[in-house]
Amino acid sequence: MLYLQKILNFIACEDTFIHMKKSLNCKGKLLDLSTPVIMGILNITPDSFYDGGQITGVDSALRLAESMLIEGALILDIGGQSTRPGAKSINSTEEWKRIGPSLISIKKHFPDAIISIDTFHSDVAKNAVEEGASIINDISAGEFDKGMFSFVLQRQVPYILMHMKGSPENMQENPQYENVVSEVLNYFINKVSHLKMMGLNDIIIDPGFGFGKTIENNFSLLKNLSLFQILDCPILAGVSRKSMITKTLNITPAEALNGTTALNTIALLNGASILRVHDVAEAMEANKLVIAYQKSK
């Protein structure tokens, strides 16, 4: 198959495949990924699938940020745009109005916090980096705003590439793959090779659980997550309270903490370097237990 040949070519390229990357340069501060880290989700949105409306202003954003940092999150991922299935996108001006004040306040009160901005708008990314953010998390992998690659390359900002089929508005209408693992892996081989040849140093990959995938697709990607280590990029797993849990167990997102912990544990065992979660304390416990398990003789 074509994707197998691409994998072999990718591995054979000495400049592209050397070893699993163990750190990210976040504005001169090295984020150590030799053991996995937790990314806490701060959605400043009225309509996200689980926590929409939880943050109603700067004060509530600060309280949640402080709680997550105390519980052990090393990254805070701030988003102003719902990307749940069926969500309609908002423009960059409205998105920045939502996240800008909270970002500025969080950096003022917690200057050492590593902030990721969940956006596919390059102008929002630019504003955010100027105000202290140091990672860009782009669900579109540069597809929705062609200026995004140029910006992250210019500023050498660690960049999270996510796989998605379609857009949030239509991605779950009827996603189809011949082989979801090979197709997503092939997608990342092309994207990562392109960005590395252009000179971007720090790339994180996110398989995009729930973004244009069936429940079976999601579990196939989770089961085969270790294959993505050939890309020499940290792997981010974002399964927190998603439909692969709720639909499998016939529960609501509010009831999905236990299921989230179970799948986070599997993701860690299969090579995830970053867990993106709503519930930091529980993810930290899973992470500590997996680390202890892996260190045992």
Q: Which active-site residues does the annotation give?
A: 242, 276
For 243, the 3-state DSSP assignment is helix
CA separation, residue 99 to residues 38, 85, 200, 229 (Å): 21, 21, 26, 32
Distance separating alpha carbons of residues 152 and 97, to the nearest angstrom: 22
Q: φ and ψ at 43, to 5 degrees?
A: -90, 110
The Cα–Cα gap between 275 and 225 comes to 13
Q: Which two tokens stand for residue 22?
A: 């163990």
Q: How far apart are CA 127 and CA 104, in angstroms?
A: 10
Three-state SS string across 1-24, please? CHHHHHHHHHHHCCCCCCCCCCEE
Quickly tell me which residue has 């949105």 as its tokens.
Answer: 45
Sign of the Cα pseudo-torsion (108, 114, 117, 123, in order)? positive
* Torsion (CA) 163, 165, 171, 172 in degrees, nearest 10: -90
- Cβ partners under 8 Å of residue 35, min gap 6: 287, 291
- Neighbouring CB atoms inside 10 A of 84's CB total 17
Joined together, the tokens standing for residue 51 give 């926590």
H-state helical runs in 209-253:
215-223, 243-249
